[in-house]
Structures are given as C-alpha cells and as structure tokens.
Copies of this chain bind each other. A is one copy, B any other.
Amino acid sequence: MEIGVYGLGRFGAFWAGLLSEHFKVKGYSRNPERITPKNVIRVTEDEVLKADTIFLCVSISALRDVLERVAKKIKPGTVIVDTCSVKVYPARVMEEVLPPGVKVIASHPMFGPDSGKKSLGGLPMILWPLRNADAEYNFWHSFFTGLGLSVLRMSPDEHDREAAFTQGITHYLGRVIADLGLKESKIATVGYKKLLEIMNQTCNDPWQLFVDLQRYNPHTGEMRKKLHKSLDKIMKLLEGTDIR
C-alpha cells in the first residue's frame, strides 16, 4: 500500500515521518521550501494524488480550496483521511466535494511534534468512518492502536463539543498568557512551570492553527463566553478587597 501525505507543514512533516517508519510514503507540499522528512519521497501534486490512501495535512481554512481543485484527479477507491483539529466542518466539506467513489475517514491525531516527541503511548486519536470506509477504518484503527495510541471512535459533532472545552481552551489560554508576556522565573512554582509549558507548546504551533481551531469549531464561541464569565466572576469576588 502506498501512502500519500498532502501538505508538509509542521504537522504534515511530523505525520509523514511517522508513517514512513511503516509504509512507503510520498509527500507533497505546494511550498518548495518545506523540508522533506527522512524516508519520505517528495513528489508532485499529481503524483501524491495517485496514492492508495491520502492523508490531508493542510490547514483547516485551506481544505475546501484544495479539495475543490484536486477532487477530479482522485481515482475511485482511494481512501482520503483528513487530520484536521476540528471535525464537523472538514467532514461536511469532504462529503460535499469528494466524488462518490472516493472513500473517506475523518481523523484527528490529538498530538503533534511537541507532545508526541518522547512517546506516542496513550496519546488520543479520533477516527470516524465517514463514507464507505468500514474496512479501511478497521485497518487504521488497528494500526494506530498498535503504535500505542489511544484510538477512539467518535462522531465529528461529539468531537467538536468535547474538544472545545479541552484542546480549544488550552490553546486559547496559551495564547492569552503569551500575549501577557509571561516568562521564566527563578521563583517559578511547580504549577507556574506547567503554565509556561502550556504556553510554549501551544505557541509552537502555527498561529493559523490557533485561529482555525477557534473559528471552525462551532462550540468554541460558547467556551470563550463561559471562560470570560468565570473570569469576571472571580474578578468581581476580589474587587475592592486589596489591602495596601
């Protein structure tokens, strides 16, 4: 089986490298400056679209444009697997745009080059057989489970609801405290060190991923609203009580 990885950004390069330890992997990026990971064969767009299974590693906001442009070139029977950090929107786009003969799996590997650096053991990965892909779903479920990942069958809607209040809030707070300019300190407590780790890890990801995570998940708006409500509540509790 030949695997294609479409997109070699921060996550795509990590993903192609990971898969290349087990499969023949072809990688494509529209950006010639992207580095080709070890063991990955760099190919043209036409070439990557000929693979049996193609993992889409493009930003959420680029997904529709990319698919609308290449859909006709994908041969029936090909398995398309997206890896977007939100699921309702990409699932809808893939169902709308990909020709009926193309099989589709929705996936979200909930880790990346930072969090997956040391070990993949127990890291969560969401999989969902979106269209005509039950056998292929079973294959990938077994494969990723074999890597030590905690693979979960979860619908796009269930994913987005849960991810808004887990991954979504983590990235949001990471960006907020980065804006605040928090930095290393000689008197850093254990808790503060964890806060800095969250900041550094989320801010290592592209800004586009952060914005897309917030914009394309239908539940993050509610999360941000609730976060502000809680902040205001605690702020009010303390207001005017300072002792100088």
User: Hey, which bits of chain A sit against chain B, CB under 8 A?
Assistant: 89, 110-111, 114-115, 123-124, 126, 150, 152, 154, 159, 162-163, 165-167, 169-177, 179-180, 182, 185-192, 194-195, 197-198, 201-202, 211, 214-216, 218, 220-221, 224, 226-228, 230-231, 233-235, 237-238, 241-244
Contacts and interface: CB of A to CB of B under 8 A. Distances in A.
Contact of A242 (B115, B175, B218, B227): B218
Contacts of A226: 180
Question: How many copies are assembled?
Answer: 2
Most buried by B among A172, A182, A197: A182
Contacts of A165: 182, 185
Contact of A185 (B166, B176, B191, B241): B166
Nearest to A217: B242
A233 B179 CA distance: 9
Contacts of A150: 186
A208 to B, nearest CB: 13
Nearest to A174: B191
Nearest to A86: B243
A186 B238 contact: no
Nearest to A108: B187
B238 A215 contact: yes
Nearest to A191: B170
Given A172-B234, A195-B198, A235-B228, A187 B154 contact: yes
Query: 5 tightest CB-CB pairs across the interface, nearest first?
Result: A115-B190, A179-B230, A170-B191, A180-B230, A166-B192
Contacts of A230: 176-177, 179-180
Contacts of A126: 187
